[in-house]
Structure 1
């Protein structure tokens, strides 16, 4: 059976999977569990992406301290591969951890530095959690790279040991991540899941989070976006090719209750730019790496969702010293009607209030 979907239906299925309807999730862990991952990024032009993503789903009840508590104290959330994840997903990651590192260079480097590895694990067990800067570099062979990791042996060792599952990120502070032996961060008793079952369940959860996706997506180094042949086949009017759709999400197209949201540029709802253009006819590029003169929408412009369409970009910056959220521009892809403008401006005010700032500029304050 091939499902024939309109673009509107496909959009609504996608937004339902990403928890971007009027029905908000119950809490932080439930949100991370449904989305499967939260991308960690240090950029904080307005707020860190993890916090923007959670606020855009949960609204004002969410506070960054909630995530910190769940990560550092309750251990309901863990960090791996540059993402926060629900701890219930750990059994699905362990088979992949056992395969790491994947590159021959990394495996050979670890083998050549076995004494360094054992000394580091012993130090973490005796003294941890520790920053990478607190781990003595006793490498027998230096790490060679054309990038910033060249000769940063303690940092590189810890990164690899986290990927292997021997070490875990225990917490974060102003100086960065603190590392500890994994059995003091992860649960000691974890269900055993085969490689095949883990890969399938991760893909099933990925499809549920996307709602609708291509069988094969853009290659990613840590967290894939492909879903294989899971779900059911679908075609979307006006869009070439075949899609896979989560059968449980099909009803979302009819039950969709819209709302307005401001998203992080790193949000998985907008991460796949090709999918974004195909389903939403929405063009977006993160311009923080462009020279200022070449930016159309701003350094860290937030995609603006209204109903089942992305309608613009918000160029804003949090000026905490002045106590304001500076609205440089609200870019309208097409001129807003009064209802759209009112809903978007209300969401901007909600964002400012959540940040504890006053909105100023571009029609505000």
Structure 2
């Protein structure tokens, strides 16, 4: 049978709707987290931390960062795991993977060499309750070898390994520092464990639902793989080569677009190949480039207008001065009046949310 063919407009609209960037805006934080499946944690806060910026892009200035803190630390409707915030209702999809981790022999060896160290941490948390890493003594027998920032950071590395094993969990944060506790005191008791292969299938299906349309194998986000397996329906897309996978429930739905300013880590744009194929949009996060080599800015925000990506905003939140500095608005296409008005309205909303004035 011939595959269904989607026109490019429809493909883009499926992608935008799946990421909750159309109208009407969602109003419930947890519903957003469930649809997106994850909120990537990144410490960069040139405008705002990624989790908050992604949620603002969907919920608008009614959203407050305190809502995520409450959901993570009090309501336990979200959990933080492996640099992602996820719905607690999805926890069972990750528990089986914890029982077979680690996969690398080097990780297994380091854990075996430091088994006493691991047990020391478990005992200390059991006795004292939640702790930040600096309050946990380093009793390692063998230091963690790395050419990067984790070299000799033995307590932090062991805690992260124990998180992956499901022995400890992040119960909250003190500023940017993670607060650790025994997983049994953070994860809801009696959470059903979904068998590994079934959990993988469900996660692939939900990944496709959150993206709307993607290749079978695509670029992941941070610690999140990008594969969607055999989920959805195979289709072709006008003007592109090869086969795509689409959520069939998303085809043919009505679409009402809006303007949105996106985080550089937003899931709509994270796969640069998909971004170019569907949106014809070029984007590079330039924070790691020397200033003289930047085209768009340190932390430029992509601009979504309905089902098109039309430019970037070079902005920075200066909380000491009380202003949102907008250094440039880069137009990838000449802005029509509606585009310009939409961008101005979003910048005003962003400044209101940040409790700053635009400069």
Bin of the TM-score, shorter chain as denominator length: over 0.9
Where do residues 112-261 of structure 1 align in structure 2 (5 Å cutoff)? 112-174=113-175, 176-218=177-219, 222-252=223-253, 255-261=254-260
3-state SS of the aligned residue for 1:140? coil
- 1:98–1:164 CA contact under 8 A, matched in 2: yes
- 1:213–1:226 CA contact under 8 A, matched in 2: no
Q: Which residue of 2 aligns with 1:301?
A: 300
Greater mean alpha carbon deviation, residues 135-144 or residues 221-230 = 221-230
- 2:221–2:270 CA contact under 8 A, matched in 1: no
User: C-alpha displacement at 1:175, in angstroms?
Assistant: 5.1
3-state SS of the aligned residue for 1:73? helix
Q: Distance in 2 between matches of 1:125 and 1:216?
A: 42
* Structure 2 runs not aligned, ≥5 long: none
- 1:325–1:358 CA contact under 8 A, matched in 2: yes
User: C-alpha displacement at 1:174, in angstroms?
Assistant: 2.1
- 2:235–2:245 CA contact under 8 A, matched in 1: yes
User: C-alpha displacement at 1:80, in angstroms?
Assistant: 0.9
User: 1:336/1:45 Cα in 2 relative to 1: closer, same or farther (>3 Å)?
Assistant: same
User: C-alpha displacement at 1:289, in angstroms?
Assistant: 0.3
3-state SS of the aligned residue for 2:144? coil
Q: Distance in 2 between matches of 1:99 and 1:198?
A: 13
- 1:168–1:181 CA contact under 8 A, matched in 2: yes
* Cα displacement string for residues 56-101 of structure 1 (whole angstroms, at most 9, x for unaligned residues): 0011211000000000111110011110000000000111122222
Q: Distance in 1 between matches of 2:342 and 2:144?
A: 52
Greater mean alpha carbon deviation, residues 140-149 or residues 300-309 = 140-149
User: 1:221/1:315 Cα in 2 relative to 1: closer, same or farther (>3 Å)?
Assistant: closer
- 2:310–2:332 CA contact under 8 A, matched in 1: yes
Q: Distance in 1 between matches of 2:179 and 2:351?
A: 31
- 1:113–1:140 CA contact under 8 A, matched in 2: yes
Q: Distance in 2 between matches of 1:175 and 1:48?
A: 11
User: C-alpha displacement at 1:251, in angstroms?
Assistant: 2.4
* Cα displacement string for residues 197-231 of structure 1 (whole angstroms, at most 9, x for unaligned residues): 10000011000000001011136673111111211
Instruction: Provide TM-score, normalisation by structure 2.
Output: 0.98
- 2:236–2:243 CA contact under 8 A, matched in 1: yes
Instruction: Provide TM-score, normalisation by structure 1.
Output: 0.96
Q: Which residue of 1 aligns with 2:313?
A: 314
3-state SS of the aligned residue for 1:55? helix
- 2:286–2:298 CA contact under 8 A, matched in 1: yes
Greater mean alpha carbon deviation, residues 216-225 or residues 261-270 = 216-225
Q: Which residue of 2 aligns with 1:92?
A: 93
- 2:150–2:157 CA contact under 8 A, matched in 1: yes
Q: Distance in 2 between matches of 1:152 and 1:333?
A: 44
3-state SS of the aligned residue for 2:268? helix
- RMSD over aligned Cα atoms: 1.1
Q: Which residue of 1 aligns with 2:68?
A: 67
User: 1:17/1:289 Cα in 2 relative to 1: closer, same or farther (>3 Å)?
Assistant: same
* Structure 1 runs not aligned, ≥5 long: 361-365
Detail structure 1 runs of 4+ shifted over 6 Å in the superposition: none
User: 1:352/1:303 Cα in 2 relative to 1: closer, same or farther (>3 Å)?
Assistant: same
Q: Distance in 2 between matches of 1:221 and 1:314?
A: 23
User: 1:220/1:259 Cα in 2 relative to 1: closer, same or farther (>3 Å)?
Assistant: closer
* Cα displacement string for residues 248-295 of structure 1 (whole angstroms, at most 9, x for unaligned residues): 11123xx01101000000011110011000000000000000000000
3-state SS of the aligned residue for 2:75? coil
